[in-house]
Amino acid sequence: MIYREAGDFSTTYPQDSQTFPIKFDRYRYYVVLAFAFLVVPFLINDYWANAILLPFLIYAIAAIGLNILTGYCGQVSLGTGGFMAVGAYACYKLMTAFPDVSMFIHVILAGFITAAVGVVFGLPSLRIKGFYLAVATLAAQFFLVWLFNRVSWFYNYSASGQINAPERDTFGILITGPNATAWATYLFCLIFCTASAIIARNLTRGTLGRSWMAIRDMDIAAEIIGVNPLKAKLTAFAVSSFFVGISGALFFAIYLGAVEVGEVFGITKSFLVLFMVIIGGLGSVFGSFAGAAFLVLLPVALKVVGADMLGWPTDIVAHFQLVIVGALIIFFLIVEPHGLAQLWRLAKEKLRLWPFPH
């Protein structure tokens, strides 16, 4: 009843296979995009940008990348933090070497460099899978962090060992550095997040996405029916690493501005993005957004309720966050493996029939 599907029908195959076949869903999608691009930039301030919106957009891109590899292709990865570091350091070297090139080009090139690195570390997936592949990607995580710490060329021989984003502008508007405005950094990240979601959605619904899902469901049967496991697995690693590299570049250049690789891109970052995918929903682009939003908003909500309203010590509030996240991961893995995305799908099905029981 809420959807009002009377008269909403398809007359062509493209209409029948579009992402949002119901008009209400399409209109809601357009309204959300219009609000994000046309209204939020006029309302945003530094707190909303740095505490909520920028982390949400950047983590959503990283979660989309990991979801392609783990959720759609079934290849377990614990090296997301290391691949984000590759994107961050690639963006830093490009920014310092080519100061007159647009930041859009720097971030995209950082994504391609990370994709190449991801393919190299994805080669073991041709022989191993499951727990052993997870250990291999975990080794990549530790190796990349060690590499960026030990080889001083990556941080331009800085005495502090950290990298700092120089001020760069796009179309005359500063988007990096301490003088960048909140609305400019927000829009810059929003453009990449929107483009990443659209690209990922179309890839997963096409031939490449179907080959990923065939490998995920049963790789031997997929190979028998003609799916090339070499191409499927390596393209999954490449596309996943591309999105993760973009998120790492944005995390360094736009959000933090200064990075020390061991503190920012350590193993905890890999687990954080993995938890976003598990809670949001494996094999779902919307689940990547839902998981990122949940784990970005949870610390803010706990601080407001626990520390500000109830007066609890901040260390107790931080421990509650760990307890809640751990409990939710156990809950979703046992009760609803498809996460928040599946709960949202079930809610939509109920709304399509409401108020009728069947």
Tokens 């995305």 -> residue: 341
CB 49 within 8 A of CB 186: yes
Distance between CA atoms of residues 218 and 105, nearest Å: 38
- CA-CA distances (angstroms) from residue 17 to 9, 11, 86? 12, 11, 37
Q: Name the more confident of 130 and 15.
A: 130
Round to whole Å and give the CA distance between 24 and 270.
Answer: 36
State how far the alpha carbon of 157 is from the alpha carbons of 131, 154, 162, 177, in Å: 37, 8, 9, 20
Q: Read off the pLDDT of each residue in 316-327 and give the average, rounded to a whole number.
A: 84
Contacts of range 204-208, beta carbons closer than 8 Å, 24 or more positions apart = 204/68, 204/72, 204/285, 205/17, 205/19, 208/232, 208/235
Q: Which residue has the higher pLDDT, 288 or 336?
A: 288
Contact predicate 289/60, CB 8 Å: yes
More confident residue, 137 or 6: 137
Contact yes or no for 279/294 (Cβ under 8 A): yes
Which residues lie closer than 8 Å to 327 by C-beta, 6 or more apart?
none
pTM: 0.93
Is 80 exceeded by the pLDDT of residue 357?
no
Nearest to 267 by CA among 151, 164, 140: 140
Q: What's the whole-number mean pLDDT along residues 251-257?
A: 92
Question: Lowest-pLDDT range, 139-143, 150-154, 197-201, 311-315?
Answer: 311-315
Percent of the chain with pLDDT strictly greater than 70 = 97
For position 103, what pLDDT does the model report?
Answer: 92
What are the tens digits of pLDDT across the range 108-145? 999 999 999 999 999 888 888 888 888 889 999 999 99
Residues 58-110 pLDDT 10s: 999 999 999 999 999 999 899 999 999 999 999 999 999 998 889 999 999 99
Q: How far apart are CA 4 and CA 7, in angstroms?
A: 8
Which pLDDT band holds residue 255 (cuts at 50, 70, 90)?
Answer: very high
- Looking at residue 47, what is its pLDDT? 87
What is the pLDDT, as a whole number, of residue 331? 86
pLDDT at 353 over 80: no
Rg (alpha carbons) of the chain, rounded to whole number = 21
Which of these ranges, 112-126, 190-204, 208-222, 334-348, has the smallest mean pLDDT?
Answer: 334-348
Nearest-angstrom CA–CA distance, 275 and 259: 23
DSSP code for 123: G
Give the Å distances, CA to CA, from 302 to 65, 171, 318. Answer: 28, 39, 8
